[in-house]
Structure 1
């Protein structure tokens, strides 16, 4: 067996210092990450630790000069052990085997201890009996036993990538079962040793398991076992990100003031502002990822002012930003006349939508909040009767912003009424069918972050989904079942609902119509808004979701008679145009035929614009197709006129 001694890999960004391990008396652990202080303070009572969470990051610790520096997790664990006089830290993974910390650095005592540990690891092979010599788990167990049970050497052991030791922690093979039962027994029988520097109580030779999730090891290893402690390693908070941002920004040219001797001192005002903005934009990123963002800025030579845009590029993996295209401003100006012509009869809702889009294009969404950088570009809640243009407006927004209605992504929430349906959006949990496929929502937005996402008829979704929506609205991101984070900061989210139109009467077990077309629009707004508020506040008990929507609830009106005639007239024009395109014929409507069709197709407006289009199909398109089909010869270039239409049965007269 061989052992290697790697260099501690520093973050290779400007302004970041990696201190070498310090000897001597231990310093207080104030200012160290909370999880490592928990580890340090419980060394006397726990023989094994399970670290899970943000393991692959870098961690801030106080530097020699009163500032901060960053180290990886293994080095962080070693710094704790070293201050109490441990001989070394052994790190094991299935690829590289055993790695020893630290280097000898010419220290005779350290060199002797290192040699003793190497002999210990080389000499603690598997049992002689059976095939255990070829069993990696059996060999690892023997070395864990040698480390934890050694009567003299003070050693720590980190088992890295421990999640990959078994295929399924709930269905262990016999060899895996034996391994973890042995480790469980070692945790209970491991002896404590005295004589540590500045630590009067005896300590264990600790074993630290590094896992993605605390469920990756058998539950019974830690349940009810006072010798095993689970410790979550959190993502960095804003304070840690700010310190790291200052370290990274501080290495940029002209980022620091010069003192009287010409040496770099404090950050300049501009650099300090850039660091704070960098930290705020980096929410959800690790400290190591922040360093990668800084590399991206250095590689592109764009300077500190581009840090927020570099964070966006790093998160989304997309260099081009459609929101920064200058022509969007002109398109939205044009939309002030084009959208009302496409979504007829909804001038007020269209105007409210355009206000949201203007904020989105100018980057002012959530400008009133302390932090708005990660929230979706725009959020809209379309409420009102069915068939009045809610879905059509969502499609129009996609075409307006991104030039293509395919950028419009629709989820029918009636398909998500079951509790487990949330798995379709973010992916099935590990061990379930569909886990490898990921989530429909997260996959789609990750592939193209610039989307209009429509959640149709939101009131039909299972309440469990509301937690997902709340996370998107508040944080602008969602983590799927595989641990991948999807960012929604460049999306327009649209929720539609028919709440407030009807109300369920539990006593009579019928639905009561609360809003009708004969009511004025102001009354429709009042009743629909009241229905939406009642549903979220009283029925679901989730007022926080309603609060996130704020003033973006737009109530659509019923299709009134005049807009209905315009919708019908447009539909008739579409039919005539398609006949010309497909058959090469010039088809016209007589004035009488047009008036009759407009009257018949708009007399019942209960189903809104969709009902009008259905009536045009039934009363005009079908009989027209029949009449054209009966003409055996249709010469391209010919001219036909619909001189009359008949309602019962539907038919047309052509001349």
Structure 2
């Protein structure tokens, strides 16, 4: 029978579900293992017509137990020892435990006597025993010291020999156990044999708050801003809903801390999202709110095409997505989008055509500094365990203390452009991390810390779609690969074919259509560079060579028209290799022979070096210099 039914779960309406589960099963379970969101505050109904209250876990447990006729609650942890809750019940506790010194810190052997006194009481007194920070009792749950092993063995036996207590009168006169409540960080922190196949021990996970909890909490916290009736104030209601949505991923206790931060900084209720951002990211300055950013993006419509040559469609679409990010409209169609990354781009197309250069241009445009650009070569993350490099190793593994390369960098500076180069080469398990970032805007590293990506721009690049599997017409299956797109093909055809290949890869090869859906229409396809763009790239790279020669050796380098035309023809012959191919051809056809010609000469400052001819002898290029 469900604990939501009136006969089991209806006794404490409005209380957290895990409290109702515990309350409903006190008659059948003698011990409970509580894990998950232990250190949060929780919503509990107020007395009578009073509003709801926010209580820490200890107070919440006590309030629910008190309503079932429990006289007191013993709380033990290794730091504070044994405490009686509430303190006014010390005399009642003495009936079961004997005299307990304040803050007594018993050994594990002595602790078993206190546990037995509560779980098998000699008098009909209802009480509970809370073992806080139980994860710290054993060094490791699978390698116990002798004293630890004896302690847990006794507790396992105690779970089966505990005595239910009947109390005359009150709301629950039938027998209920005096429960032992273990508070652990993770369910696996206790010896597995303590809970395995032990029906007397019930494991309960305490979840993080959902949107409804955050909305109710926001309305309670609005009183700190002088709003006593949110329902009668439409502006305050909207502000509370915005606060609750922005606090996605935070605990209710964190919302309390955000409110304190806002009050300390004299932030109004309507501006609480700024306080949430400061609380999450730990930084006050927000580059996205700088007044000159819109002007810089508008100027970028002229500057970026000069830097990324021959890609008008890709540049235009990228700047459109960037404008959307600056205005805070990324994912605006979603019910809640405030925690998602500022912008997401998926650059696809031929190699060497400006994908990485456009990422750098965006970084300089938004942040004024290319050092905010962070690049990960995903070919280095093809192994199954390579994801630990991004987020850090789990506890107990080598390198756990160092954290992850990605999470550390974003925690240090959340305002970044992050480039994941050649994403198709990453191990499929790493894609799960990207799915979490794209959907929730956050990631938990190996040390358990949450890192937020809500102010970052994520760029994924890929060469998918350049080749596709060839199929044997005789029906024999795949037969190698064939070109899918070629230089000279209309851009519309290139875009359609590459987008189709990207979709096939994520849906059929990886079987991850949900990741493709997160990219949506943010897939930006780059074209092959044309002859005109190739000439411009050649001129820019050739000018860079001449400038370097002048800076390094104070020489004046000129090339006559005929050899320059020959070099241009050689270097721009293979457009499918993109701008990078032009640079490689210039290096082998001009820089190498130039270095060879200059190396044996005695060079003088301001000397004029003129290239009058260029010729090939096999694979070697020679320059004629006067």
TM category, shorter: over 0.9
Q: SS at the partner of 1:150? A: coil
How many angstroms does 1:434 deviate by?
A: 2.1
Contact 1:256 1:266 in 2 (8 A): no
Give the aligned partner of residue 514 of structure 1: 484
User: How many residues matched?
Assistant: 607
Q: SS at the partner of 1:650? A: strand
How many angstroms does 1:188 deviate by?
A: 1.3
Cα deviation 1:601-647 (Å, max 9, x = unaligned): 11112322111111111111111112222212x22233322222223
Once the two structures are overlaid, the 10-residue window that deviates more, 338-347 or 512-521, is 512-521
In the alignment, structure 1 segments of 5+ residues that lack a partner are 1-25, 105-109, 126-133, 258-264
Give the aligned partner of residue 229 of structure 1: 202
Within the candidate set 106, 113, 128, 2:92 is matched to: 113
How many angstroms does 1:74 deviate by?
A: 0.5
Give the aligned partner of residue 645 of structure 1: 614
1:246 aligns with 2:188: no
Alignment of 1:588-607 (within 5 A): 588-607=558-577
Within the candidate set 136, 145, 150, 2:116 is matched to: 145
Distance 1:102 1:510 in 2: 75
Give the aligned partner of residue 3 of structure 2: none
Q: SS at the partner of 1:67? A: coil
Give the aligned partner of residue 11 of structure 1: none
1:40 aligns with 2:23: yes
How many angstroms does 1:242 deviate by?
A: 0.8
1:164 aligns with 2:130: no
Give the aligned partner of residue 206 of structure 1: 179
Contact 2:26 2:176 in 1 (8 A): yes
Cα deviation 1:103-123 (Å, max 9, x = unaligned): 32xxxxx45314435625469
Cα deviation 1:127-184 (Å, max 9, x = unaligned): xxxxxxx983223233222221222232111111111112222222222222211111
Alignment of 1:4-153 (within 5 A): 28-64=11-47, 65-104=49-88, 110=89, 112-117=91-96, 119=98, 121=100, 136-152=107-123, 153=125
Alignment of 1:413-562 (within 5 A): 413-505=378-470, 507=477, 509-562=479-532
Q: Taking structure 1 as reference, are residues 508 and 537 closer, same or farther at Cα in structure 2, changes over 3 Å only?
A: closer
Distance 1:203 1:529 in 2: 63
1:190 aligns with 2:162: yes
Distance 2:449 2:284 in 1: 20
Distance 1:409 1:278 in 2: 31
How many angstroms does 1:66 deviate by?
A: 4.6
Q: Taking structure 1 as reference, are residues 27 and 122 closer, same or farther at Cα in structure 2, changes over 3 Å only?
A: farther
Give the aligned partner of residue 635 of structure 1: 604
1:181 aligns with 2:153: yes
Give the aligned partner of residue 22 of structure 1: none
Within the candidate set 354, 377, 381, 2:319 is matched to: 354
Q: Taking structure 1 as reference, are residues 252 and 572 closer, same or farther at Cα in structure 2, changes over 3 Å only?
A: same
Q: Taking structure 1 as reference, are residues 267 and 219 closer, same or farther at Cα in structure 2, changes over 3 Å only?
A: farther
How many angstroms does 1:400 deviate by?
A: 1.6
Contact 1:50 1:211 in 2 (8 A): yes
How many angstroms does 1:431 deviate by?
A: 2.1
Cα deviation 1:523-571 (Å, max 9, x = unaligned): 1111111101111122222211111111111111112222111111111
Distance 2:122 2:98 in 1: 15
Alignment of 1:306-321 (within 5 A): 306-321=271-286
Distance 1:610 1:141 in 2: 72
Contact 2:69 2:172 in 1 (8 A): no
How many angstroms does 1:267 deviate by?
A: 4.9
Once the two structures are overlaid, the 10-residue window that deviates more, 513-522 or 525-534, is 513-522
How many angstroms does 1:430 deviate by?
A: 2.1
1:290 aligns with 2:290: no
Once the two structures are overlaid, the 10-residue window that deviates more, 598-607 or 49-58, is 598-607
Q: SS at the partner of 2:38? A: coil
Alignment of 1:272-287 (within 5 A): 272-287=237-252
Hey, which bits of structure 1, 4+ residues long, moved more than 4 A? 120-123
Give the aligned partner of residue 328 of structure 1: 293
Distance 1:62 1:193 in 2: 27
Report the RMSD for the aligned CA atoms in angstroms: 2.0
| TM-score, length-scaled by structure 2 | 0.93
Distance 2:28 2:285 in 1: 54
Contact 2:267 2:275 in 1 (8 A): no
Contact 1:383 1:555 in 2 (8 A): yes
Contact 1:120 1:146 in 2 (8 A): no
How many angstroms does 1:67 deviate by?
A: 2.1
Distance 1:135 1:647 in 2: 89
In the alignment, structure 2 segments of 5+ residues that lack a partner are 1-8, 472-476
Q: SS at the partner of 1:163? A: helix
Distance 2:351 2:114 in 1: 69
Contact 1:505 1:511 in 2 (8 A): yes
Give the aligned partner of residue 4 of structure 2: none
How many angstroms does 1:429 deviate by?
A: 2.1
Give the aligned partner of residue 474 of structure 2: none
Give the aligned partner of residue 385 of structure 1: 350
